[in-house]
Chain A
Amino acid sequence: MLIAWRYRERDTIIQKLDPRARILFMLAMLFSIIQFWDLRVMLVFLGIAVFQYALAKLTWRETRRAWILISFIIFFMTFLTFLTGRGGVNYAYEEEHLIRRLGPVTVPLVGWELALNITAEKTVFAFSQMVRMYAISIMAITLPYTIDPSLYGVTFRGLGLPDKFAYAMDLAFRFVPTLGRDFTITMNSQRARGYEVEKVSGGLIAQIRRLAPLLVPVTINAIVGAEDIIDAMDLRAFAVGPRTWVHKLHYQPRDRALIALGVLVFVASTILAFMGVGNLWVPDALMHLASG
């Protein structure tokens, strides 16, 4: 099994930016978005996210699988919140204007009565929630495709993570292909001995137990092999002094500009939210529908 990173060298503006600046910008956007429920403000953030995504030049073909899954989750969770609605009622809006009431329907056996009140606020809240989730997802999904995995250790070191943790992160990325190969070898060896992972007979517990012959050898081999790595590192006096890194990151003016923009957006968002701007906005047309 060949494990391939999603990252490709693309010669785009996004990839020329310092990964630290991009991570800081993403966090600033995340903490800014979650301060608003106004659909109009949310669309501005969605616009920024889409602009960033367009600059990354990602193709539908490479992101299709991730988008199908993310969209399914977003639609399912939005629908569930629309049915229950209490999250919105609790802090995004207090008053509701009924558009239509569906039900009540009596649940057989237990006798519970379920009804769905479709209100103007609940409907707009669902749309706002969907836009918010898409904006966050578009920002988040761009990172794996545009940040070089070999830069992660030095990136997080640059963001303030202690040397040991940054090194462990770097090491983890390097272990991935080896462990992928070990997994393939183990699976092929077990299959040669008659192991059938696809066998669907047996109960749930039996099926989970059936995965042990794959999981245990790969894990234990990795742990046993780790002893040699520990010895090698100790012999080279690991963690005795500060580390140096093969790759070095330097902030360019454009990176500083991106960080400043992120901080500015976050501060402005916090001040606006503090002043009460950006609460749930319900279009007049929906209010008319509710009153009519």
Chain B
Amino acid sequence: MQNKAVKWFAVLLSIVVLLALASVLTQGDRIQGLAPIVVTAIGLIGVFIVYLITAESEAWEVGTREVVYMAIGAALYGVLNWIFNTIPMPSVSQVALRPSICIPIFFGFVFGPVVGFFTGAVGNILGDFLTGWGVYPAWDIGNGLIGMVPGLVLLFESKRRSLNFLTVVVAALTALTAAIIFISPEVPGPWTGEIEDFSFWAWAFLIGGVVVIVGRFVLEAGSVDLAAVNIWGTLGIIVGIGFASIADIWINGYSFATAIIGEFAPAAGPNILNSMILTPILLAAYNAVQERTGR
């Protein structure tokens, strides 16, 4: 398995190097159409690097148990997606009720990243097959990432350690983003194309980062499981929907603002809310059953 991974890693790396070389030789103006391939390859290489570093972890093992949970997770996600898209449900304001999002997050968090990825990706294909909407690879991968990211919690020794790691990452990313904006605050605005001052967003990032870190400790005061599932689940939704939205910039030619306003925000916001309420309930029920049955 690991040899195979190394082989594919080498193939992907060669593609990226060749494309980078082509870009240099042509001043980068003739291979714009290949940008999605480069981005996808870089993303896959990132996943491979994480895998290679942690290849010994049990989180990546796929046995009979994982195969069955993958199938059940995918079928559940597909069926619930279809049901909640077909049955008219009440909704408040613009926030759609999409309870099925807790399925890939729960399966990833409990059964590992492979089960989570499969549940999200194949479940989304199944749901789209049942509703007849077609197959959209970027969104299938995006849904897979929603399940895979929470599964990464199993790579850590304990859930508290995983939270410590995330806190450091959030703090570093927030500081880095804010620093980049503060160093160069004047850039072309997404709406007008004219040079605008974006210093406000640096402060917004800083405040957002502080809120996330404080939120972690507030949730942790309740229970480590509650904090871990909510924070890893939210990260999964941001990464998954973010990937699909950004991919659509190349696939459909959206502007960055369209991808964020039209896709990322309306999809990620309600999903995070639905997940934060329902996934802990599901996790509590599962823990109770596990204690009772001892399996």
Chain A residues engaging chain B, CB cutoff 8 angstroms? 1, 3, 5-6, 26-27, 30-31, 34-37, 62-63, 65-66, 69-70, 76-77, 80-81, 83-92, 114-115, 125, 128-129, 132-133, 136-137, 139-145, 149, 164-165, 167-176, 179-180, 183, 197-200, 203-205, 207-209, 211-212, 214-216, 218-220, 222-224, 226-227, 229-230, 233-234, 238-239, 269-270, 273-276
Known: A168-B74, A233-B64. A197 touches B277 (CB 8 A): no
Q: Which 8 A-B pairs have the closest CB atoms?
A: A35-B33, A140-B134, A87-B255, A171-B71, A175-B75, A141-B134, A172-B74, A168-B70
- Whether B131 is near chain A, meaning CB under 8 Å from some CB there, is yes
- Whether B69 is near chain A, meaning CB under 8 Å from some CB there, is yes
Contact across chains for A86 and B64 when beta carbons are under 8 A apart:
no
Contact across chains for A207 and B130 when beta carbons are under 8 A apart:
no
> Within the assembled complex, what's the spacing in Å between the Cα atoms of A69 and B86?
12
Contacts A86-B193, A164-B62, A209-B277 known; 13 new A-B pairs at CB < 8 A: A6-B129, A62-B132, A65-B131, A69-B133, A80-B258, A149-B129, A172-B126, A208-B97, A208-B277, A209-B278, A215-B80, A216-B285, A239-B63
Contacts of B131 in A (CB 8 A): 65-66
Count of A-B contacts judged by CB separation below 8 Å: 257
Contacts of B255 in A (CB 8 A): 80-81, 84-88, 90
Q: CB within 8 A of A3: which of B31, B79, B128, B134? A: B79
> Within the assembled complex, what's the spacing in Å between the Cα atoms of A125 and B92?
35
Chain B 238-259 per-residue mask, 1 if CB under 8 angstroms from chain A, else 0: 0000000000011111111111
> Within the assembled complex, what's the spacing in Å between the Cα atoms of A167 and B102?
24
Main secondary structure of the interface of A (DSSP, over half): helix
> Within the assembled complex, what's the spacing in Å between the Cα atoms of A250 and B199?
61
Which residue of chain B has the shortest Cβ distance to A197 in the bound complex? B89
Contact across chains for A76 and B71 when beta carbons are under 8 A apart:
no
Contacts of B185 in A (CB 8 A): none
Contacts of B118 in A (CB 8 A): 165, 168
Contacts of B262 in A (CB 8 A): 76-77, 80
Contact across chains for B253 and A92 when beta carbons are under 8 A apart:
yes
Q: CB within 8 A of B78: which of A65, A128, A136, A172? A: A172
Contact across chains for A133 and B252 when beta carbons are under 8 A apart:
yes
Contact across chains for B30 and A220 when beta carbons are under 8 A apart:
no
Which residue of chain B has the shortest Cβ distance to A276 in the bound complex? B30
> Within the assembled complex, what's the spacing in Å between the Cα atoms of A182 and B117?
24
> Within the assembled complex, what's the spacing in Å between the Cα atoms of A85 and B254?
8
Contact across chains for B90 and A220 when beta carbons are under 8 A apart:
no
Known: A164-B62, A270-B33. A220 touches B289 (CB 8 A): yes
Q: CB within 8 A of A168: which of B71, B90, B188, B273? A: B71
Which residue of chain B has the shortest Cβ distance to A224 in the bound complex? B289
Contacts of B190 in A (CB 8 A): 84, 86
Contacts of B79 in A (CB 8 A): 3, 176, 179-180, 183
Contacts of A197 in B (CB 8 A): 89
In the complex, which residues 82-118 of chain B have their Cβ closer than 8 Å to any Cβ of chain A? 82-83, 89-93, 95, 97, 99-100, 102-103, 106, 118
Q: CB within 8 A of B132: which of A6, A92, A200, A229? A: A6
Known: A205-B277, A218-B76, A238-B67. A136 touches B251 (CB 8 A): yes
> Shortest CB–CB separation between residue A262 and chain B, in angstroms?
15
